[in-house]
Amino acid sequence: MIKKNIPGLQIREKTRIQHLISWLAPFLGLILVLVIFSLMPEVQDRFLRISNFKSVATQSVIVALGALGMTLIIISGGIDLSAASNIALSSVIVAFAINAGIPPVFAVLCGVLTGGFVGFVNGSLITSLRLVPFIVTLGMLGIARGIAKWTAGNQKIDAPLSWVNELMARHPSPSWLLMAPGVWLMILLAVVMAVVLRYTVFGRHVFAIGSNEATARLCGIRTNRTKIIVYSVSGLFCGLSGVMQFSRLTVGDPTVAIGLELDIIAAVVIGGGSLRGGEGSILGSMIGVFIMAFLRNGSTMMGWPNYIQEIIIGAIIIVAVGLDQLRHRRE
């Protein structure tokens, strides 16, 4: 009753609670998944082991790197359906380059840059042709996959083993690393991206474009340039993800990661990203990635058939987004 007389206070309190909830919601999901599996008698002693957490972290790197870029794109109001094809293409390029006798460092660089180039093309087409991102990246999904198969000669490429293949080893070679170098890279890049999104001008511009592109343009933001950067950066992440994919498979496989773009998008959406743009966070997306990875890990350990885990993940996507919508409507 008293509060009603002081609207400012009410609003402030409300927003604080809302902040807390939207920040906590994805965490709750992750904790729920962890709790459920650690209560299963068949696996509880094994599920909570550090070695299991380490391997889930390693398994998550590929999707997580893709999700870092995808978060950026989704916040800007776009979408990238070509992410998985881009990952496959980059991994094939790395294998191809190593096979051609190029030193691994440059091969890795080639892979990452290939990813970045695909992203750049996406961004340029979207801005110059004024096409919807959905269409452009849908086209690129086919183009990148096709080029990957072409480069690999419709085969997988067996490349000689090198240090690149140690990036994703479950037992890293200097044992003081504790986790695969790829996992550390993922954590580092996640932190960097979170900071970029929150504290830099570029990051704020991305949010502005996603919230209302016309207004953003009127405010003097160079929307086209920003969008091209967004897609290019996202492409670089896909390239890096491709390097990790190659590292894990030890072969360049053009048919790898088919449909992975949907996992990546699901992770971002579970983590609070809105397909209407202007919303999303790196932390949320990372939690989305881990929710799915732990579900997969737990279901496999339980020996559940695949269709159960597919149904569960599908349900989680709908529930997560449904709750998010509910929250918005109340605001």
User: Which residues of this chain interact with other proteins, rule CB under 8 A?
Assistant: 14, 17-18, 21, 25, 28, 31-32, 35-36, 39-44, 46-47, 49, 51-52, 55, 58-59, 62, 149, 152, 154-156, 158, 165, 169-171, 245, 248-251, 253-259, 296-297, 300-301, 303-306, 309-310, 323, 326-327, 330
> Looking at beta carbons only, is 196 or 321 nearer to other proteins?
321
Closest contact distance (angstroms) between CB of 81 and other proteins is: 17
In the complex, the smallest distance separating the C-beta of residue 90 from other proteins, rounded to whole angstroms, is: 14
Nearer to other proteins, 19 or 222 (CB): 19
Q: How far is the CB of 17 from other proteins (least distance, A)?
A: 6
Cβ 33 to other proteins shortest distance, Å: 10
Q: Name the 3-class secondary structure at 157.
A: strand
- Whose tokens are 């890293």? That residue is 172
Which one, 22 or 212, has the nearer CB to other proteins? 22
| Residue matched to tokens 């359906």 | 81
Q: How far is the CB of 242 from other proteins (least distance, A)?
A: 12
What lies within 8 Å, CB to CB, of 193 at 6+ separation is: 68, 71, 72, 282
Q: Which of 46, 198 has the CB closer to other proteins? A: 46
Q: At 271, is the secondary structure helix, strand, or coil?
A: coil
Q: Output the smallest distance, CB 200 to other proteins, in A.
A: 31
Residue 250 neighbours by CB distance under 10 Å? 16
Contact status, residue 213 vs residue 193, Cβ threshold 8 Å: no
Q: How many other C-beta atoms lie within 10 A of the C-beta of residue 6?
A: 10
Q: What are phi and psi of 228, to 5 degrees?
A: -60, -40
Which is closer to other proteins, CB of 77 or CB of 172?
172
C-beta of 59 vs 127, nearer to other proteins: 59
Residues 6+ away with beta carbon under 8 Å from 182: 58, 61, 167, 168, 244, 247
Q: Residue 121 in contact with residue 140, Cβ under 8 Å?
A: yes
